[in-house]
Amino acid sequence: MENISSRPTFFLQEWVLEIQNLSILGVNALLNLFRRPLYIREAFEQMDSIGVGSLTITSLTGFFTGAVLTLQTAKSLSSFGAVAATGQLVSVALVRELGPVLTAVVVAGRIGSGIAAELGSMIVSEQIDAMRSLGTDPIKKLVTPRVFASIAMVPLLTILCVFIGIMGGLFVAYSILGISPTLYLTSSYDELSYSDLVQGLVKPPAFGFILSLVGCYCGLRTYGGTQGVGRSTTQSVVSSMILIFVADFFLTRLLLHVL
């Protein structure tokens, strides 16, 4: 008998099935925001762990990205004698692209994997089954608060990341490159348009949604004991990063078209 799993169409089918299940979970998680009971306490706990818990890591990422970006940009611009425009390029790049994407990736690594590991362990130790048998919908109690918290906190973290990134750039520009702080700041501020800000603020909630949803999804489909928890954790990071990059491309394309 032919082994079904060796056919190429099998992988395609699996893939489509995964996307379908992920979408169903996503829709349910969002619809639960309007269905009682609302788990407000859980949502706040998650906002604390996702938001406050990621402050250090996003700040550090922002600072060094801004700093290295300034070094590179200034080097390239110096060959055109346009070092004065460094601030502008750095801030536009950070606001439009690097801030949202890097924050999402870093948070996916920290939070997405944590969610997958936590829910995965709960599956393995039958806690999710116990929850269902006690009359609670795990999607309402576990998934919705996490997705909500992530959608709410990732934009705030992104804003912080971008701000600290520009400050990091300023630090390098002044201390290493000798660019005047006023020049750097004016050029970064003046050249930012509303369309840049809109782009920079539309992406983060979408990324927050993706990373928490993928984390929950991978966690909830865990099977096969502690080894399965490890597999789910890895999978959640890999899948959410890929989905973030893909979504970033399409969102950028869409926003550039619209704005």
Given the rule CB under 8 A, which residues bind another protein? 37, 125-127, 129-137
Asked if 104 and 204 count as a contact pair (C-beta separation under 8 A), the reply is: yes
The identity of residue 158, as a single letter, is T
**CA-CA distance, 14 to 134, in Å (whole number)?**
32
CA torsion angle 99 101 106 111 (round to 10): 110
CB of 116 to another protein, least distance (A): 16
CB of 29 to another protein, least distance (A): 15
CB of 122 to another protein, least distance (A): 8
Asked if 203 and 248 count as a contact pair (C-beta separation under 8 A), the reply is: yes
**Closer CB to another protein, 136 or 252, in the complex:** 136
**Closer CB to another protein, 101 or 123, in the complex:** 123
**Closer CB to another protein, 6 or 133, in the complex:** 133
CB of 10 to another protein, least distance (A): 14
Q: Which helix (H) or strand (E) holds 137?
A: none
Give the pair of three-digit tokens for residue 120: 């995965």
**Closer CB to another protein, 33 or 131, in the complex:** 131
What residues have CB less than 8 Å from 199, skipping those under 6 apart? 95, 96, 252, 255, 259
**Closer CB to another protein, 141 or 231, in the complex:** 141
**Closer CB to another protein, 44 or 250, in the complex:** 44
**CA-CA distance, 166 to 70, in Å (whole number)?**
9
CB of 147 to another protein, least distance (A): 18
CB of 18 to another protein, least distance (A): 17
Residue 243: count of CB within 10 angstroms of its CB? 19
**CA-CA distance, 108 to 104, in Å (whole number)?**
6
